């Protein structure tokens, strides 16, 4: 049987990362797919996750893909793509349906119809947006909450509480067009926070309840899990570049020096360690205050036993773990990638691209709603490809 390769492309504001994995053969033991090649390039032409200069973005994508192709020794023709940025948002809805069978047994058709009904109820509330993922959070039968799946149970009326993750149609259109202009067919699109969660979180953490915070260059994205299901997703227009800017202004040094200091690299600049901690701490406090406010809004503040798991390029700041623990009153830790990947990915900033590969290999078999998310993908791409030149 010919080997099958899966590619994930993460178009971030700071870097574009490409990961290629070899899909396990049927006779191989199941586990995380092995990475066979990676590539990265500095992102140009992006702002807060959306494209402002397509030609610059194209050059960056081509550079990252070329590196991955050389490392893999295989051309890349298809890929799974992530979308993030401040255009990503959530909306909750409730749908209902009268069961169709004469014996009142609930079928998959009834479940699908209830999800469609919940989606139709919000369609007028989200102009200019396209739903990426539809995730059922819970079901009720004749007003009584169901624990687990309702399929096969009996009742007259089925209700569903659903989470919809959407993005601006224009942002999605531009991103896919940029990737496909390089000759790569986009198989499916996934929200970046969900893709990262496939790598960074364990099943135990998702079941107990946790928040995954990805601190990028210009955005901070969070996804909250409970009972194995993503129950909330949010993106804030603040990131680690703001910390760099604060250091440059506070210490009166060039941006390049400020970036080195933030990352803990040697620099010729003289500065007070105490003053640096004050500057970094103030901005991180702002970030965690936004996260805490969101957790309060969904009534999960201080109530997630697995705590906050921090990832992304900004997670390398020395004091970030302690600040998160104090600000959110939750356990906190820095996410780490699987050490068995032979050093092909160096830090947790690769989580999204690697997560896309895992999603592609799994065929939508992930637990807790991610499998539901994937069913919208190809239909979504078919829908808006008619608008591409």
Give kind and range of the element (H or E) at residue 78.
strand 78-83
Q: b/e map of 198-220 (b: 16 or more CB within 10 Å)?
A: bbbbeeebbbbbbbbbbbbbbbb
pLDDT along the chain (389 residues), means of 10: 85 91 72 86 89 93 96 94 92 94 92 93 91 93 89 93 94 93 93 92 94 92 94 94 94 91 82 91 94 96 95 81 93 78 65 91 58 45 41
d(CA 217, CA 97) in angstroms, rounded, equals 44
End-to-end alpha-carbon separation of the chain, Å?
37
Per-residue pLDDT, 262: 86
Per-residue pLDDT, 387: 38
Per-residue pLDDT, 374: 46
Please give the CATH superfamily to which domain 5-85+169-192+339-385 belongs.
ATPase, nucleotide binding domain (3.30.420.40)
d(CA 299, CA 31) in angstroms, rounded, equals 35
Question: Do the beta carbons of residue 106 and residue 152 sit within 8 Å?
Answer: yes
Question: Do the beta carbons of residue 111 and residue 150 sit within 8 Å?
Answer: yes
d(CA 389, CA 386) in angstroms, rounded, equals 8
Residue 100, sorted as left (phi over 0), alpha (psi -120 to 50) or beta, turns out to be: alpha
Crossing angle between the packed helical segments 169-180 and 377-385, to the nearest 10 degrees: 80
d(CA 174, CA 304) in angstroms, rounded, equals 36
Q: Where in the chain is the domain with CATH 3.30.1490.110?
A: 89-167
Taking alpha carbons only, the member of 40, 35, 26, 32 closest to residue 5 is 35
One-character DSSP codes across 252-273: T--HHHHHHHHTT---S----H
Per-residue pLDDT, 269: 82
Q: Where in the chain is the domain with CATH 3.30.420.40?
A: 5-85+169-192+339-385, 203-334
Question: Do the beta carbons of residue 127 and residue 170 sit within 8 Å?
Answer: no
Helix, strand, or coil (residue 41): strand
Per-residue pLDDT, 28: 62
Per-residue pLDDT, 271: 87
Please give the CATH superfamily to which domain 203-334 belongs.
ATPase, nucleotide binding domain (3.30.420.40)
Question: Do the beta carbons of residue 9 and residue 81 sit within 8 Å?
Answer: yes
Domain 89-167 has CATH 3.40.50.460: no
């Amino acid at each position: 049987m010919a080997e099958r390769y899966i590619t994930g492309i993460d178009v971030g504001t700071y870097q574009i990362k490409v990961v290629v994995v070899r899909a396990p053969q049927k006779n191989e033991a199941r586990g995380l797919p092995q990475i066979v090649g990676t590539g990265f390039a500095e992102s140009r032409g992006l702002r807060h996750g959306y494209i402002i200069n397509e030609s610059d973005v194209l050059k960056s994508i081509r550079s990252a893909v070329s590196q991955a192709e050389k490392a893999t020794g295989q051309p890349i023709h298809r890929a799974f793509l992530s979308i993030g940025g401040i255009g990503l948002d959530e909306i909750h809805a409730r749908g209902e349906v009268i069961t169709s069978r004469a014996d009142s047994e609930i079928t998959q058709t009834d479940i699908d119809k209830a999800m469609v009904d919940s989606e139709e109820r919000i369609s007028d509330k989200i102009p200019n947006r396209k739903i990426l993922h539809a995730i059922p959070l819970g079901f009720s039968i004749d007003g009584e909450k169901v624990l687990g799946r309702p399929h096969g149970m009996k009742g007259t009326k089925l209700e569903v509480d659903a989470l919809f993750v959407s993005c601006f149609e224009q942002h999605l259109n531009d991103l896919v067009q940029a990737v496909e202009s390089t000759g790569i067919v986009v198989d499916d699109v996934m929200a970046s926070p969900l893709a990262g969660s496939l790598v960074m979180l364990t099943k135990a953490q998702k079941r107990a309840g946790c928040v995954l915070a990805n601190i990028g260059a210009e955005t901070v994205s969070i996804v909250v899990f409970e009972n194995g299901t993503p129950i909330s997703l949010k993106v804030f227009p603040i990131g680690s570049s703001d910390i760099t800017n604060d250091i440059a202004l506070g210490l009166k040094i060039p941006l390049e020096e400020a970036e080195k200091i933030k990352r803990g690299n040697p620099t010729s600049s003289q500065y007070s360690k105490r003053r640096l901690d004050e500057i970094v701490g103030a901005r991180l406090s702002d970030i965690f205050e936004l996260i805490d406010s969101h957790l309060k809004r969904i009534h999960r503040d201080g109530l997630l036993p697995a705590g906050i798991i921090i990832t992304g390029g900004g997670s390398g700041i020395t004091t970030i773990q302690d600040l998160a623990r104090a600000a959110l009153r939750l356990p906190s830790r820095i996410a780490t990638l699987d050490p068995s990947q032979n050093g092909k990915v160096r830090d947790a900033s690769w989580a999204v691209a690697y997560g896309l590969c895992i999603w592609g290999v799994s065929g939508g078999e992930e637990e807790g709603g991610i499998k539901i998310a994937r069913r919208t993908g190809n239909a979504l791409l078919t829908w808006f490809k008619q608008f591409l030149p």
